[in-house]
Amino acid sequence: MPRATQHPKADSFNFRIDPALKAAFTQATEAEDKPAAQVLRDFMRAYVERRNRKAFEAEARRQSQAAAARALDPQSDEAQSLREMESLLDADDFADEWKA
């Protein structure tokens, strides 16, 4: 017999919760006419997305700081790239708009 829904079979996630919190959460989801399980799945997705974004930002910050540290060495590729960008901006008619 074919499945009645398009969603693949999923695992269950069981956990203990304070009865008062469960009642308040159920009341809140019913007031918005949303299934409690769907709201919990949305919370879980948002949590994972937020964690992934924080990890990405931390890695980007680490890489930026490492590149900035390497740029302090005048012989580094990073310092050479910065000098090339500065010369391009100096040659540009709009260079004054980009300088602070």
Predicted local confidence at residue 93, as pLDDT? 63
Q: Is 17 helix (H, G, I), strand (E, B) or coil?
A: coil
pLDDT in tens, 35-64: 999 999 999 999 999 999 999 999 999 999
- Kindly compute the dihedral angle of the four CA atoms of residues 56, 60, 61, 65, in this order, to the nearest 10 degrees: 160
pTM of the model: 0.63
**Predicted pLDDT at 94:** 61
Q: What is the pLDDT of residue 88?
A: 84
Low-confidence ranges of the chain (pLDDT < 70): 1-8, 92-100
How far apart are the C-alpha atoms of 35 and 25, rounded to whole Å? 11
Of 50, 53, 44, give the one whose Cα is nearest residue 10.
44
**How high is the pLDDT of residue 22?**
96
How long is the chain?
100
Burial class (CB in 10 A: 0-12, 13-18, 19+), 53: exposed
Q: Roughly how many angstroms between the first and final C-alpha of the chain, as a whole number?
A: 69
